[in-house]
Amino acid sequence: MLTLCITAAVTYLLTGPVRKFAIVAGAMPEIRARDVHREPTPRLGGIAMFFGLCAGLLTADHLTNLSQLFERSNEPRALLSGAALIWLIGVLDDKFEIDALIKLGGQMIAAGVMVMQGLTILWLPVPGVGTVALTQWQGTLLTVALVVITINAVNFVDGLDGLAAGMVCIASAAFFMYAYRIWYSYGIEAAAPATLFAAILMGMCLGFLPHNMHPARIFMGDSGSMLIGLVLAAGAISITGQVDPDSLFGGSERSTVHQMVPVYIPLVMPLTIIAIPAADLILAIVRRTWRGQSPFAADRGHLHHRLLEIGHSHSRAVLIMYFWSALIGFGALTYSVHSASMWIVLSVVILSALGLVLLLLPRFTPRAPRWAEAVVPPRYRRRAAPATAPDASAPADAESVDDHRAPVAAGVSGVNGASAVGSRARVVDRSRPR
């Protein structure tokens, strides 16, 4: 908790100065066709996140119960080396827009640097077979592939304010609970680095989110999205390739199918925490190659773009993506530790049905009860009928209209903004600084 809080505090406090630096440095690209925001917004938020990572590792190194981790394992140093390289590439891309193939090469080099320092997959738990040892080349290729896929999956999903940071924070929270259980309950010290990485990653995301929620004052950019993607992949590699599943249970405890799940969950858990970003990545590659385009060609076909196109607001689209990430990540975690597996599956099915209902009702606005109106946003409160009719001769002022009704009155979707209705009505963009 101390490591997490210090990481979050350093990231939060540095994001403001980094925003001013990004404005002075000119890291504010023009609005592109695929962008959702309407005003140029500074990037380089990954600078604050990287220094938060350094602060978290430095704090852990000086704690009594965690300092031994740095003596027994070289994985924290491997993570810092790879993170520094990928962060530098991201900073250059945020400023100068470097080529996609150059970024891909940098991602592979960063993964190779971590492999050279010992952060690699040594074996895999295969259901029905057992633990399969990997050769050096097999482990290296698998590690590099997992790092590159995770980095690009997080980078692709970073399209709305607060989306990537929130989804990665949810995924890292589920991963932390699983890794800490392996470390503390089973006494497996090899799970300690993954637990530390997950706690630091949560701190990085929580410290950056207040500045990045809609309307965002700063974007993390590629320097942030690739960084948190690499940290997420490092934790998955550590607990998948370093923790021997045979040390979790004895042979007598593998008599039932469900008791085998915790043994093979290290193979499944890293896939569940990036399930939504990975699905978006795969759909984007298929969609672009089907059109004859490069897989790295940008478009407006991502999952968050589709949520906006069918009528969801910016905030609701982000919350829906949060919901699905939490459902998949914590569903897999709960199934691995609970004996009543049928009830877990039934709960996941019910929550999935609820998520589908939210997708099919984009314009439904719930109303809070009277006693809760003081603590909910104004758009969820019950509005009383006006005592007198407004003066018809007065010009319409959109600032007196609720935010969630302004796009409807303008007759446009929330993706492209709002246009004026009539000759005198206007809609004020509340995301612009006054």
Chain segment 377-421, per-residue pLDDT in tens: 676 676 654 445 445 444 444 333 344 433 433 343 433 443 333
Rounded Cα distance, 222 and 86, in Å: 9
Residue 138 confidence (pLDDT) above 50: yes
When pLDDT is cut at 50, 70 and 90, the band that residue 372 belongs to is: confident
Please tell me whether the overall predicted TM-score, pTM, comes out greater than 0.85 for this model: no
- The total of other beta-carbon atoms located within 10 Å of residue 223's CB is 28
The alpha carbon of 368 is separated from its chain's Cα centroid by a whole number of angstroms, namely 29
**Which residue type sits at 267?**
L
Instruction: Name the more confident of 13 and 329.
Output: 13
Give the mean model confidence (pLDDT) for residues 13-22: 94
Closest CA to 408 of 388, 434, 379: 379
Give the mean model confidence (pLDDT) for residues 136-150: 91
Numbered residues of the known binding site for Mg(2+): 155, 222
CB 429 within 8 A of CB 38: yes
Pair of tokens at residue 87: 């962060």
Q: What is the pLDDT of residue 365?
A: 64
Give the mean model confidence (pLDDT) for residues 15-25: 92
Q: What is the pLDDT of residue 301?
A: 67
pLDDT tens digits for range 69-89: 898 889 999 999 999 999 999
Mean pLDDT of the chain: 77
Pair of tokens at residue 114: 């971590």
Residue 331: CA count within 13 A, CB half-sphere: 20
Residue 125: phi and psi, rounded to 5, are -85, 115
Q: What is the pLDDT of residue 421?
A: 38
Instruction: Name the more confident of 220 and 346.
Output: 220
Numbered residues of the known binding site: 155, 222
**Could you give the dihedral angle defined by the CA atoms of residues 246, 248, 253 and 256, in that order, rounded to the nearest 10 degrees?**
-80
Q: What is the pLDDT of residue 286?
A: 84
When pLDDT is cut at 50, 70 and 90, the band that residue 334 belongs to is: confident
Closest CA to 219 of 53, 83, 8, 22: 22
Rounded Cα distance, 173 and 190, in Å: 19
Residue 126: phi and psi, rounded to 5, are -105, 120
Total residues found in the chain within this entry:
434
